Amino acid sequence: MIPRRKPRFYKGELKDILRSILSGKFLDGEHIERFRKEFADYIGTGYAIPACSGRNAMELILEGLNLNKGDEIILPAYTLKDLVRLIQEKGLVVRLADIEEDTFNVDPAAIEKKITERTKVVMVTHLFGLPCNIEEITGIAERHNVDVIEDCTHALGAVYKGKRVGSFGRAGFFSFEATKPVNTFGGGMVVTNDGGIASTAESVVKGYPFDRGSVLTKTGYAYLERLMVATQLFSLLNLCFVFGFTGKILSKLYLFLHSRARARYTRFTNLQAFLGIRQLSDLDERNEGRNRTALKLTERLNSDPDTGFLPQGYGEGRIFYFYVIRAVIRGELERIRKRMLLRGVDVGIKEEITDDCSLIADGVDHYPVVKNVFGSAVQLPVYDGLRDKDLDFIVKALKRSLK
Ligand SMILES: Cc1ncc(COP(=O)(O)O)c(C=O)c1O
């Protein structure tokens, strides 16, 4: 069985974790400062402030912008729904914008239509690792005197016209959750050139407690997932899912593993920084490897015009956090997924990929492109270590599952 995602570990990682526990430098230590510096240099910003998750990093930025209740923030209607909830909990008003048909990224024209005199922020996502049209969006924002925040949780290492994503807006944020290109078992980062945002974020995170237990718990979940996908346990769960014995068990399991990242507000630890430094050092190389895998997948999909699938636009400078395609046949995603599972390939669909936020934010559904994409998107496996024969296997399963 080929799983849809695989938490990444490097050789010797477990030894590093044990050494850190034994040395007494698990929580605080010199790696934190070094990781901040190296991360900021890598992105090209003046400051980088570690947070306990991507979601927390977004909250820290909002805190630093000194917004007032009732201020409006524009978000893509196709993004993680937790973001909408967290923003609304702060008394801010979320306005959504539709996405582009081919990139699944937010449509700049749709953003401009949503700007009012109460709009303070436009938050964009570089979805699945593909940079959005950030130049046009920052242009619109400047004209309307609105700040841009970049959600780079899917796009660490992606480049837009020679600059790393995260360095275009007033601030940006990243995630180091277990399946991200840099995995520190939960964790996030704020990046900015704005001293005010940096010092607010800094003082808020200093108030969080260091918590060994929550880092170890997240590490444990990631190792458990890894063990599951490497053993028959995973196939067994999949079969339960296919035959409906346990309803949506697999889907629930993935969503549960994902929700661990926001379990508690704790401080980013020295051990996490150590793991981050290690993975940042070969990030570009690994991203290139994933890009090569994704290109091979695209070639195999494109070689047959009857495939019935449209891959997300390639886009220069992108990285592949997720490889997402649209099934041309609509309304049958569950059936396609079951057929894929029976053929030995696990794929993600609907909210397992990302959310259609229209109903939670607006109570109505008037984003036709999001609706179409949400109802037809399929996430294929594209992590490190997939071999050519695995890709052939995936594409064959896909073509057969359509018939
Ligand atoms: C689009 C998007 N934004 C933000 C986040 C939040 O990141 P985290 O899980 O580290 O809180 C995620 C999670 O993957 C995401 O998909």
User: Which protein residue has the closest C-alpha to ligand 1 atom 16?
Assistant: 80
Is CATH 1.10.10.60 what the domain over 13-206 is classified as, yes or no?
no
Burial of residue 108, with CB atoms counted within 10 A of its CB: 0-12 exposed, 13-18 middle, 19 or more buried: buried
Ligand 1 atom closest to Cα of 173?
4
Per-residue model confidence (pLDDT) at position 90 = 95
Per-residue model confidence (pLDDT) at position 247 = 45
Grouped pLDDT means (10 residues each) for the chain, 403 residues: 83 87 87 97 98 96 97 97 94 96 96 97 98 97 98 98 97 94 94 98 95 83 80 68 56 62 79 95 95 92 69 85 83 83 90 90 78 92 90 91 77
Question: Could you tell which of 58, 153, 256, 264 is best to mutate to test the pocket of ligand 1, judged by most ligand atoms within 8 Å of the CB?
Answer: 153
Question: Could you tell which of 58, 62, 73, 80 is best to mutate to test the pocket of ligand 1, judged by most ligand atoms within 8 Å of the CB?
Answer: 80
Closest CA to 182 of 279, 260, 287, 290: 279
Residues 6 or more apart whose CB falls under 8 angstroms from that of 299 comprise none
Ligand 1 atom closest to Cα of 175?
10
How many residues does this entry show for the chain? 403
> Scanning the structure block, which residue is given the tokens 């593993």?
257
For residues 251 and 268, what is the distance between their CA atoms, to the nearest angstrom?
A: 28
User: Which protein residue has the closest C-alpha to ligand 1 atom 7?
Assistant: 54
Closest CA to 326 of 103, 176, 116, 160: 103
Tell me, in angstroms, the distance from the centre of ligand 1 to residue 57's CA: 10
> Scanning the structure block, which residue is given the tokens 């991203």?
287
Instruction: Please count the other Cβ atoms lying within 10 Å of the Cβ belonging to residue 316.
Output: 10
Phi first, then psi, for residue 322 (nearest 5°) are -125, 145
Question: Could you tell which of 73, 177, 183 is best to mutate to test the pocket of ligand 1, judged by most ligand atoms within 8 Å of the CB?
Answer: 177
For residues 377 and 353, what is the distance between their CA atoms, to the nearest angstrom?
A: 8
User: Which protein residue has the closest C-alpha to ligand 1 atom 15?
Assistant: 80
Closest CA to 6 of 398, 395, 403, 390: 390
For residues 25 and 14, what is the distance between their CA atoms, to the nearest angstrom?
A: 15
Alpha-carbon torsion angle 338, 252, 273, 316, nearest 10 = 40
DSSP SS3 for 260: helix
Question: Are 339 and 332 contacting, i.e. CB atoms less than 8 angstroms apart?
Answer: no
Domain ranges for the chain, please list them.
13-206
Closest CA to 279 of 380, 157, 385: 157
Tell me, in angstroms, the distance from the centre of ligand 1 to residue 150's CA: 12
Secondary-structure percent of the chain, ordered helix, strand, coil, rounded to 5? 50, 15, 35
For residues 251 and 352, what is the distance between their CA atoms, to the nearest angstrom?
A: 7
For residues 348 and 324, what is the distance between their CA atoms, to the nearest angstrom?
A: 9
Amino acid found at 165: V
For residues 293 and 71, what is the distance between their CA atoms, to the nearest angstrom?
A: 43
Ligand 1 atom closest to Cα of 79?
1
Per-residue model confidence (pLDDT) at position 335 = 85
Ligand 1 atom closest to Cα of 125?
1
Ligand 1 binding pocket (C-beta < 6 A) is: 53-55, 79-80, 83, 125, 151, 153-154, 175, 177, 188, 261-262, 354
Q: Where does residue 308 fall: left (phi above 0), alpha (psi -120 to 50 degrees), or beta otherwise?
A: left
Closest CA to 151 of 201, 189, 115, 96: 189
Residues 6 or more apart whose CB falls under 8 angstroms from that of 389 comprise none
Tell me, in angstroms, the distance from the centre of ligand 1 to residue 55's CA: 6
